Structure 1
Amino acid sequence: MSNTNIKKVRTSDLELKDRLVSIQRVTKVTKGGRTFSFSAIVVVGNENGVVGYGLGKASEVTSAIAKGVEDAKKNLVKIPVINGTIPHKQEFRYDGSLVMIRPAAPGTGIIAGGAMRAVLESVGVKNV
């Protein structure tokens, strides 16, 4: 797929809301014992067509989430949303995963779970 149509957005004067997608405890085993740290995946968006994601890693949960939000604000893109849904069908395959999003009739809502639900709600697809 070509990434030529991706429009980057700057964070100036945007009211962004963040959603925590996942948090994982990571263990590093050394000769001296185990060292625990956390990684957090965060999605931010203004619910009006702008969305971004970020990954933060730190030794505390709150620090990992804060780093994820800062990283997500650096990766904002503009997504077209027309009448509360996307304008056309998109499919993307990566390894064993298939992500397929389609426009929906009014009143259908979001039929997705986990990370895709967080991304679609952050971009402004209506859950009505």
Structure 2
Amino acid sequence: GPNRGGGPNRGGGPNRGGGGRFNRRPRRDQNNNDDRGPELFEKVIYINRSSKVVKGGRRFNFSALVVVGNREGKVGLGFGKAGEVASAIKKGSDNARAEMVSVSLRNDTIPHEVRSIYDGANILLKPACPGTGVIAGKVVRSVLDAAGVSNVLSKSLGSKNAANVAKATLQALRQLQLKKDIYAKRGMEVRTPAAPEAATAEKTEAVN
């Protein structure tokens, strides 16, 4: 008859496969707005699986490193561990939110060159003009994206361990200082840069 093969609903229609994409784990490389706080950019840097032999078989554990930021100068890294992937990611995200720090940016780049070393990972960041983009590896880019850096040059040397690279990148961002902040700490006002001779004389007096 006309309904042979299930008719227009053959295969379960739009809900074929038990809900399809609605049952997948949500992407974590986009803005995430939930009951944990304000809307933030969030990305999973890595997920590792470990197993432990117990009576009756193996028990699996998952660990996740997550970066969170408001893309306006606030960023944090968090590590989470749990028996399920989703729980590990949530713990990492919650920890990252709790550890967010403010970094100094100049428009959409960094105010000056900076280098940071963390447990063998050596990261160099350099300011870049508009249109350059983020010239960096995947891990470094994730941290810079979360912080709000859109134009920067970077170089990664030494350890390629994702956690070390991410922490070195965050450490580098925390070292950034705007000129006005440096002057404020010294109780000075931002003025026209002193002549080289004056700067040399000041340094000599400080040494003496």
TM-score, length-scaled by structure 2: 0.52
Amino acid at match of 2:67: V
Amino acid at match of 2:116: F
Alignment of 1:53-68 (within 5 A): 53-68=77-92
Unaligned runs of 5+ in 2: 1-35, 153-208
Deviation at 1:41, TM superposition (A): 0.4
Alignment partner of 1:108 is 2:132 = yes
86-95 or 28-37: bigger deviation: 28-37
CA–CA separation in structure 2 for the residues paired with 1:72 and 1:109: 25
Pick aligned residue for 1:45 from 55, 69, 72:
69
Pick aligned residue for 1:94 from 118, 135, 139:
118
CA–CA separation in structure 2 for the residues paired with 1:50 and 1:79: 6
Classify 1:95/1:69 alpha carbon distance in 2 versus 1 (closer, same or farther; 3 Å): closer
Q: Quick check: 1:121–1:127 contact (8 Å CA) kept in 2?
A: no
88-97 or 37-46: bigger deviation: 88-97
**Residue equivalent to 1:7:** none
Count of aligned positions: 117
Deviation at 1:96, TM superposition (A): 2.8
CA–CA separation in structure 1 for the residues paired with 2:77 and 2:107: 24
Deviation at 1:110, TM superposition (A): 0.6
Q: Quick one: higher RCO (CA 8 Å, sep 6+), 1 or 2? A: 1
Unaligned runs of 5+ in 1: 1-11
Question: Percent identical across equivalent pairs?
Answer: 50
**Residue equivalent to 2:8:** none
Deviation at 1:26, TM superposition (A): 1.2
Q: Quick check: 1:20–1:41 contact (8 Å CA) kept in 2?
A: yes
1:19-49 CA-to-partner distances (Å, cap 9, x unmatched) read 1111011122346542211000000000100
Higher-Rg member (1/2): 2
Classify 1:14/1:79 alpha carbon distance in 2 versus 1 (closer, same or farther; 3 Å): farther
Alignment partner of 1:71 is 2:95 = yes
TM-score, length-scaled by structure 1: 0.82
Q: Secondary structure at the match of 1:102?
A: strand
Structure with greater proportional strand content: 1
Runs of 4+ in 1 over 6 A off after TM superposition: none
Alignment partner of 1:120 is 2:144 = yes
CA–CA separation in structure 2 for the residues paired with 1:18 and 1:58: 19
CA–CA separation in structure 2 for the residues paired with 1:94 and 1:17: 24
107-116 or 92-101: bigger deviation: 92-101
Structure with greater proportional helix content: 2
CA RMSD of aligned residues (A): 2.0
